[in-house]
Homo-oligomer: A and B are copies of this chain.
Amino acid sequence: MGVTERKAREKEELKRQILDAARELFVRDGYESVSMRKIADKIEYSPATIYTYFKDKDEILDCLCEETFLKLHVDKLAAAHQMKGDALQALKKGMETYIRFGLEHPEHYIVTFMLRAAPYHGPRARETRKAKTGQQCFDDMRNLVRRCMEEGKIMKADVEETSQALWAGIHGVTALLITLPGFPFVERERLIRRTLEILVRGISPHGK
């Protein structure tokens, strides 16, 4: 009786279709400008159908975010693995990978890190999922930071604090470069290199 399985598979396929359509539209037109009706049009179903698969519009965005986080996670692991000997080098490479990932997939990056899904006050159950996936991806960096500290490659301090501050730093460049393409920025590569340099220097064990 493979019926149940087939049904489940078909359901999953339509869900995939919705997500793909939504991602493409979000990327092209921005979250706010994409209506449920437009997504429905694209997959040639009625708007109401989407609600059988997703609780609401925000949940679609949420799923897309989850996927993006996963891809970034993989990229960072690969980068770290490449530098498996030196923890500090791995950390640097990881941070660089993060920035490049954002610049290469600005649309995904915006969706995941730059859109506020919920109003900025009032706890949201949904926020938790996005936050949790983010945390998982963020774990990569935390682990590298910890290793660096243990090996004395960077100054000793609170691991969480340090990791988050570093994240803020690399998010900053990425976000600015994506958001303000018209701003007279210094040449992109130079800005990235300098930012990484400052951050790494800021956590180096040398000096006071």
Q: Interface on A for B, CB 8 Å cutoff?
A: 29-30, 32-33, 106, 110, 113-121, 123-124, 127-128, 130-131, 134-135, 157-158, 160-162, 164-173, 175-176, 178-186, 190-191, 194-195, 197-204, 206-208
Contacts and interface: CB of A to CB of B under 8 A. Distances in A.
Contacts of A178: 116, 120
Contacts of A197: 165, 202
A201 B172 CA distance: 18
Copy count, this protein chain:
2
A179 B30 contact: no
Contacts of A169: 168-169, 172, 195, 198-199
Given A162-B194, A202-B198, A176 B182 contact: no
A171 B182 contact: no
